[in-house]
Amino acid sequence: MKWLVTAGLALAALALAGFGLVVVLVIDDDASADDISSKAGDGRGLRNVPDEYRPWILRADAACAQPEMTPAYLAAQIDQESHFNASAVSPAGARGPAQFMDGTWATWGRDYDSNGEISRTDIGDSVMAQGALMCSLLKKAKGSGYPGDPRALALAGYNAGWGRVDEYRGVPPKSFARGETYNYVQLIMSKIPHFEGQTAGLITVSGRGNGPDALRRALDRLGTPYSWGGGTPSGPSTGFCDGTNGYLRGKCSASSTAGFDCSSLVQYSYWPTTKLPRVAAAQYGETSHRPVSRDQLQPGDLLFWSHGGTSAIYHVALYAGDGKVVHAPRTGRVVEVQPMTAAMPERDYFGATRP
C-alpha cells in the first residue's frame, strides 16, 4: 500500500492415536467454514513464495468468501508492495510486507499469529490484514457497478483509497498521481500467473466409484490449512491443542485455524457414501478386513503409518496414483500431494486398506 492510502480506508512429534499426525483461518465477517468449499478445486495453487509466507497467504485466501480472491493474487500484491520483505519501510512510513500506513493499520491490524503483539512487520498479522482488507474491497468493487475487473478495482482502492475509485468510477487513469495507481494495478495483475500453482494438473482422476470419487473430493481441498483436531464430514473447522500437537512457533495454531487433520480429511472425502470413523487408528480398524498390497494400490485406497502396531497408527493418507498420496501432513502445512515415499518416514509405513 503506497502513500496514497488514507486512514479513512483503515480494515508433530508423536501424535495421539486419536487424531493421527496431520493436515491445514481466522474467519472474518466475509467468510465462514461453509463458504470455503465454494472456492476449492479451481486451481487455487501457490508457488514461488518464501516458505514463511505460504501458510499465511493460504489462510488469508481461505478466510475470504469472494471467489475473485486467490493465493496468487495476494502473493503478487505482496511482491509489488515489498518483495516479501517483512522489514520494508516506505519513505511515507508504510511498513511491513503489505506496506500498511498507520491509519489503515489501526483499523485492520490484529494479532493473527497470536504472539501477543499486533505488528505490521509480523508476517502473519500483515498478510491476514491484507487479505481481510482486500476481501472487503473485492466485495465493494463487485457492488459498485463500475466497469472493469473487480480485482483491478480492489487493487486501486488499496493503493489510492476507495474514494479515488469512486471519483473516477474505476481505476484512476495514468494522469492521476503520475500513473502510480494505474501502474500498480497493471503490474500486480501481470504478476499473478508467476505465483499460480499447478494443483489442478497434479493428478488426473479417471473413472467413478467409491475410491476415485473420494480422491476427487480430497483433491478439491488442496491448499486447505492443517488444523489438529479440526475438520468434519461437512468441511474445515477449527481444532484444538492437546499439550503436544496443534502448536506453531510455540502458539496454539489449531484453535484459530479452520482446516483438516489427516483423518478428518479422509473422513470428509468418503462421506456420506462411506461413513468412516473420525480417527486414523479407527479408520484402519474399520477397513482392515480389506487389505491392499503395495503393488495393487488403487486411487482412493487408504495408507497408514504407525510407530508400532495398530494402536500406534499416527497418520493416514489417500492414494492418488502414480506413487503419490494426497494428505494433510502437519501443523503449518496444507493439504497437498506428495510422493508416497516422502509423505512420512518409510520405516513407519504400516499398510493399506480399501474402504
Indicate if the pLDDT at residue 3 is higher than 50: no
Structural domains for the chain = 46-195 (1.10.530.10), 201-353 (3.90.1720.10)
Angle of helix 123-144 relative to helix 150-160, nearest 10 degrees, comes to 120
pLDDT digits (tens, 9 = 90+) for 229-287: 999 999 889 999 999 999 988 899 999 888 899 999 999 999 999 999 999 999 999 99
Q: State the pLDDT confidence band at 43, using cuts at 50, 70 and 90.
A: very low
pLDDT digits (tens, 9 = 90+) for 56-75: 998 898 888 888 888 899 99
pLDDT value, residue 20 = 37
Indicate if the pLDDT at residue 341 is higher than 80: yes
**DSSP assignment string, 207-240:** S-SHHHHHHHHHHTTTTPBB-TT--BTTB-EE--
pLDDT value, residue 179 = 95
Cβ atoms 295, 302 nearer than 8 A: no
Q: Which of 20-29, 191-200, 203-212, 233-242 has the highest mean pLDDT?
A: 233-242
Q: State the pLDDT confidence band at 202, using cuts at 50, 70 and 90.
A: low
- Read off the pTM: 0.54
What share of the chain has pLDDT > 70, as a percent?
85
Cβ atoms 45, 200 nearer than 8 A: yes
Q: Which of 52, 68, 81, 167 is catalytic?
A: 81
The alpha carbon of residue 6 and the mean position of all alpha carbons in its chain are separated, in whole angstroms, by 29
Indicate if the pLDDT at residue 44 is higher than 60: no
68: annotated active-site residue: no
Work out the average pLDDT over 334-354: 92
Mean pLDDT of the chain: 85
Residue identified by cell 503478487 is: 76
Classify 336 as helix, strand or coil.
strand
